[in-house]
Amino acid sequence: NAGVTQTPKFQVLKTGQSMTLQCAQDMNHNSMYWYRQDPGMGLRLIYYSASEGTTDKGEVPNGYNVSRLNKREFSLRLESAAPSQTSVYFCASSETPGGTEAFFGQGTRLTVV
């Protein structure tokens, strides 16, 4: 069972470069999420997609864009990376929006130099 798969697992970017983090889930879940995790800050929601075709901003959306490509895939794009975006990024999915278990991927460790 793959669950939630994120690629890449590690990435180093130079300031100003762009990149897309990929996420795919095979559980037929409707809702998908992108979080960032920083030491002492917990998990903060960047963007989420309650269902295919919809996306909404979370707590820390600045500097990011997302695309819900289809029901399985939800990508996160950094247009012009900044050192403040150095973090561990987690994608998650859940069956329905609100009140159900969220399944997380293994994370992408991103360093911006």
Residues at the contact surface with another protein, assessed by CB under 8 A: 4, 31, 33, 35, 40-45, 48, 50-51, 54, 56, 58-59, 90, 92, 97-107
Closest separation between CB of residue 75 and another protein, Å?
17
Closest separation between CB of residue 4 and another protein, Å?
8
Q: Which is nearer to another protein, 17 or 104 (CB)?
A: 104
Whole-angstrom distance, CA of residue 25 vs CA of residue 103: 9
What sign has the CA pseudo-torsion 18, 109, 22, 71?
A: negative
Closest separation between CB of residue 15 and another protein, Å?
26
Closest separation between CB of residue 14 and another protein, Å?
25
83 preceded by cis ω (within 30°)?
Answer: no
112, β-bridge pairs = 13
Q: Which is nearer to another protein, 19 or 50 (CB)?
A: 50
Q: Which is nearer to another protein, 65 or 104 (CB)?
A: 104
Considering only CA atoms, give the Rg of the chain: 13
Q: Where are the extended beta strands (E) located within 16-86?
A: 19-25, 31-38, 42-49, 56-57, 64-68, 74-78
Q: Which is nearer to another protein, 27 or 80 (CB)?
A: 27
